[in-house]
């Protein structure tokens, strides 16, 4: 199925939002009514084809600016290690936090609020017993330990089948 084509107003919204990450102001700048800009900005971002257009435009902006993952990490490392008198300890700590998140050393918690207007027709886990759930969880932990070991370059000896 073909994706809907962006309207001219949506194209302007995408360009502004990709640059500012402010949905309300971007909606106003794109020509939506100031009275309904907040709702229109939110609505645009909930449309998958608009969200994809925003992601593509943001990627274009990064390429145009020469921003790469290497440049970001290098800049963060410079900031994290910069002890010049005009730098704050807070800036260094924040840079280290971002680097730790990028390295997967810190989990980022996300809070989501809202209402779901959907009811499950059946129990989500079906007729699984607690023992079966424990077995599934244990298998997941085992798989994660194996993947972590492989990522670390460890050589694993598997038991005979």
- The full set of domain ranges for the chain reads 8-65, 69-102, 127-161
The pLDDT tens digits of the residues spanning 8-24 come to 999 999 999 999 989 99
Convert the pLDDT of each residue in 141-160 to its tens digit.
777 777 777 777 777 665 55
pLDDT of 100 over the 60 cut: yes
35 or 143, higher pLDDT = 35
Query: What gap in Å lies between CA 134 and CA 155, rounded to an integer?
Result: 28
Say whether pTM exceeds 0.85: no
d(CA 81, CA 91): 10
Note the CATH architecture for domain 8-65. Orthogonal Bundle (1.10)
Dump pLDDT digits (tens) for 39-54: 999 999 999 999 999 9
Nearest to 9 by CA among 43, 58, 59: 43
3-state secondary structure of 55: helix
Percent of the chain with pLDDT over 70: 75
How far is it, in rounded angstroms, from Cα 46 to Cα 30? 17
% of the chain at pLDDT higher than 90 = 29
What mean pLDDT comes out for the span 102-106?
70
Enter the tokens of residue 47: 């449309």
């Amino acid at each position: 199925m073909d994706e809907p084509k962006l309207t001219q107003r949506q194209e302007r919204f995408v360009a502004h939002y990709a640059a500012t990450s402010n949905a309300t102001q971007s909606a106003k700048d794109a020509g939506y009514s100031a009275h309904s800009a907040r709702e229109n900005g939110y609505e645009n971002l909930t449309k998958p084809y608009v969200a994809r257009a925003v992601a593509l435009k943001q990627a274009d902006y990064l390429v145009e600016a020469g921003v790469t993952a290497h440049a970001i990490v290098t800049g963060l490392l410079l900031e994290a290690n910069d002890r010049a008198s005009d730098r704050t300890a807070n800036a260094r700590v924040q840079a280290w936090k971002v680097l730790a998140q990028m390295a997967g050393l810190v989990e980022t918690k996300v809070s989501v609020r809202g209402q779901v207007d959907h009811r499950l027709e059946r129990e989500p886990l079906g007729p699984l017993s607690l023992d079966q759930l424990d077995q599934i969880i244990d298998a997941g932990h085992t798989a994660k330990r194996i993947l972590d070991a492989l990522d670390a370059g460890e050589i694993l000896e598997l038991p005979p089948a």
